[in-house]
Amino acid sequence: GENVEQHPSTLSVQEGDSAVIKCTYSDSASNYFPWYKQELGKGPQLIIDIRSNVGEKKDQRIAVTLNKTAKHFSLHITETQPEDSAVYFCAASMNAGNMLTFGGGTRLMVKP
Amino acid sequence: DARVTQTPRHKVTEMGQEVTMRCQPILGHNTVFWYRQTMMQGLELLAYFRNRAPLDDSGMPKDRFSAEMPDATLATLKIQPSEPRDSAVYFCASGLASTGVNTEAFFGQGTRLTVV
């Protein structure tokens, strides 16, 4: 089955700096890679996703890159703000709507 | 607005008691997932339904856990008997997976279960 590794497990940055979270996956059949943000006491919420026919996708301060050959993908947050503090999860699956295998999560702390 | 609804939000129960968690998926979605979240194991898939049929429950302890979808608007996860190690947050998520049309998984707010 699929295995997703995520690093780092914790990340502390100063407000305004960039944050990068990296994930690797094992199953070359996976073709859908979402990123979820989980705030305290809430369920994970999708913030951005990428499909395997695309190498990069950007949405305002958030971008995701995918390297299919190396089987890794990354989340980039620029100009971080205190409200970006949360736990971020990467995941992989075969097509959106199908079951997701999650990485272990990254606790991001943005210091004002 | 469309969202996945889970009840109860919190549940404290004594070891050995039966626990039932409920989930109302987003109308029109045909996939339902149950995930368990703990500090040690992260987010683990327990069960996966498509068009109300169970497709994967390999992550679920079969002796005490059961998951069902009595109809398209209700999914249930039952633990009987409950044990302290079942203490966790249980999330339900729903999505749409069909030929040519797919959406991401939308998560509910979770049920925080504490077994004492």
- Name every chain B residue with its beta carbon within 8 A of the beta carbon of A105: 42-43
- A10 vs A22, A45, A71, A109, A112, CA distance in Å? 12, 19, 22, 8, 17
What tens digit of pLDDT does each residue of B51-91 get? Answer: 999 988 888 888 999 999 999 999 999 999 999 999 999 99
Q: What six digits make up the tokens of A77?
A: 């947050």
Output the average pLDDT for chain A.
94
- A40 vs A85, A103, B38, B95, CA distance in Å? 10, 18, 14, 23
- The pLDDT score that the predictor gives to residue A19 is 98
Q: Do B107 and A45 touch (CB under 8 A)?
A: yes
Q: Do A42 and B91 touch (CB under 8 A)?
A: no
Instruction: Of A84, A83, A89, give the one whose Cα is nearest residue A104.
Output: A89
- The pLDDT score that the predictor gives to residue A89 is 97
- Give the strand pairing for B65-71 and A4-7: unpaired
Instruction: Considering only residues B13 and B41, tell me which one the structure prediction assigns the higher pLDDT.
Output: B13
Confidence of residue A96 (pLDDT cuts 50, 70, 90): low
Q: Do A34 and B108 touch (CB under 8 A)?
A: no
Distance CA A8, CA B48 (A): 29
